[in-house]
Structure 1
């Protein structure tokens, strides 16, 4: 009997559209001889919608969108009652990015439902999503990173001038202002003076009630993918050639302004150190399945961890599958299958844990 794989995508997230592209590529790559594929769309309002058994490849991501007049609780209940095959072998692939998908929320629901799922669990997802907590942990474990500080909305609202002065004294200019729990460069601003800093904070607070402010590091932007459970492995280092200093959402996903170079042009000892650090960050955050670690590398060959992504973009042209193809020849479908195997492996580990006396 085939295994049922439920690919969940969309969601109440600024990365909604990115999720659709990832889901489309994943479902087209899954072995249909081995799996029954069920697309599960979450609208921008948070309503779940099942598209039924997928029989053909997705040609247009518009096929993955549906409208519904249901409510969130009833739509989730409908999925659990009428679509989840309780007497069959199931697995969930959460092709969700950002809020409610990459922050541990959906993972918590799947843990309660006792369903195996691909990727990181509640803790690692939450830690990776919150840039401030993530950076605090990296500080404790001596992971190289740039100067940073955080600012909450209530503090900004109560005394904006004092907040601005503290940022100027601690970080200085130019600096980057980011929502603490968002992705795809949404809500991020590069600030060179006080007026830009004020506008940047106002922009970031539209997407989160906590921001992170970082010093600007002039360097090349590189990435490493880590895949595994107890014995994770790091890919070769990949580099993005950027056509402008700050790559926003449009540059990353719409304009085609990112040019990947794999493997990156690095000294071997530097590349090895970055790969070791990537595995170390994977373990610090208690990751399972996969993670992408983003770096800056300066002209004097120093590297700094920028952030991690616990559910990176997963189209065929995304960095994660491209890195593994260049590392060991793993194809996109093979990588999908590997992640599914790791999910079942981790599920069996957790099932062996005694939860009572």
Structure 2
């Protein structure tokens, strides 16, 4: 670029690679999340490169069009694989993205300053993508390898939280070896849990593969359904009470702050907050923010949310889900290091109620990532 005398160079706009899709069963949810983030990113401040990961793991240069990533008429979106492939940097001295077109020499897309990984579930939210970015010394939004992996695994998440004295509900773990060698012993062990129970893949989200079981005779089928998503299964005793959520977001100095609370109520059509209720049947669910709870309950949930965030070693953002029992006890259900992030998802809604709107939320997360070092920290 040629400058006239006295003309200052244009300020550098950080290049943000928005990565979405992925190999997990939450591929479509990730696409919908990416649509919201792509709309919110300020193109005057950031140079944006959308990168989709297909269900077979191929990285492709995606169209910068949020509309194609929305669910329409109950049809879920997917990454369009017709675009050129993408090579990601794996060297600490090179942050260049390269496009691969058939029959052509790889072309340079430019350096990446930060990655916004919007993948949900295994092979993205569970530390695998974070590890790849660490190898290339590329800054990224959200938690690191260990926090992502441990938070994604409902078994180890509960072990860590309980070990630090945080309240978690009764549960049992069904490992692949246990189920494959002696399923009857597993079912006998699960009889100690009070019904109803929720049978869940240990490392999945968006309520994929979850079954509410009220009859012990249905446990075997529920475990098999969960194992379609993950060979390791967690079975949780149902906890009566209200479902509350709280967002956690770090200040630019790294201090974690808690949002206003949200409440989820399934009003019709579903026995619990399942995938269809979350993403397809919005009229069957009531989402309230701020939740109507006494100030002392709000304070307790916010305190537990921040404690959970710090115990798990999270960074950037997380959503903590809890139960409020009829006797006023607060029980931690789980933490999500990359919660649903569409403009109508609970995490952005809770922060909007706390004074941080969606574009400001996206900007904060990118600025946090740009300030944070990679590697051991």
Distance 1:175 1:209 in 2: 18
Name 2:258's counterpart in structure 1. Answer: 234
Find the residue that maps to 1:123 and give its secondary structure: helix
1:342 equivalenced with 2:356 (yes/no): no
- For residues 225-264 of structure 1, what are the structure 2 equivalents within 5 Å? 225-228=247-250, 230-243=254-267, 244-256=270-282, 257-264=284-291
Does residue 194 of structure 1 match 2:216? yes
CA offsets, 1:5-48, max 9 Å, x none?
Answer: 10000000111111011101101110001111111011111111
Q: In structure 2, what is the equivalent of residue 156 of structure 1?
A: 179
Query: Alpha-carbon deviation of 1:248?
Result: 1.2
Residue 308 of structure 1 deviates from its aligned partner by: 0.6
Aligned to 1:136: 159
Q: 2:69 aligns with which of 54, 57, 61?
A: 61
Partner residue of 2:36?
25
Greater Cα shift, 306-315 or 259-268:
259-268
Q: State the Cα deviation string for residues 103-142 of structure 1 (Å, max 9, x = none).
A: 0000000011111111111111001100000000111111
RMSD (Å), alpha carbons? 2.1
Aligned partner of 2:4 in structure 1 is: none
Determine the C-alpha separation between the residues in 2 that align with 1:84 and 1:301.
Answer: 57
CA distance in 1: counterparts of 2:347 and 2:239, whole angstroms: 23
Question: Does the 8 Å contact 2:17/2:112 carry over to 1?
Answer: no
SS in 2 for 1:142: coil
Structure 1 unmatched ranges of 5 or more? none
Aligned residues: 342
Q: SS at 1:235's partner residue?
A: strand
Pairing partner for 1:326 from 336, 353, 360: 353
Q: 1:94 — aligned with what?
A: 117
Encode CA deviations 1:308-341: one digit per residue, 9 max, x unaligned: 10000111101111111111x2111000000011
Match of 2:295 among 260, 268, 272: 268
Q: Is the 8 A contact 1:47 1:68 kept in 2?
A: no
Structure with greater helix share of residues: 1
SS at match of 1:224: strand
Please tell me whether Structure 1 or Structure 2 has the larger radius of gyration of its CA atoms.
2
Q: Name stretches of at least 5 consecutive residues in structure 2 with no aligned partner.
A: 1-11, 71-76, 90-95, 100-106
TM-score w.r.t. structure 1 length?
0.90
Which residue does the alignment assign to 1:177?
A: 199
Structure 2-normalised TM-score?
A: 0.86
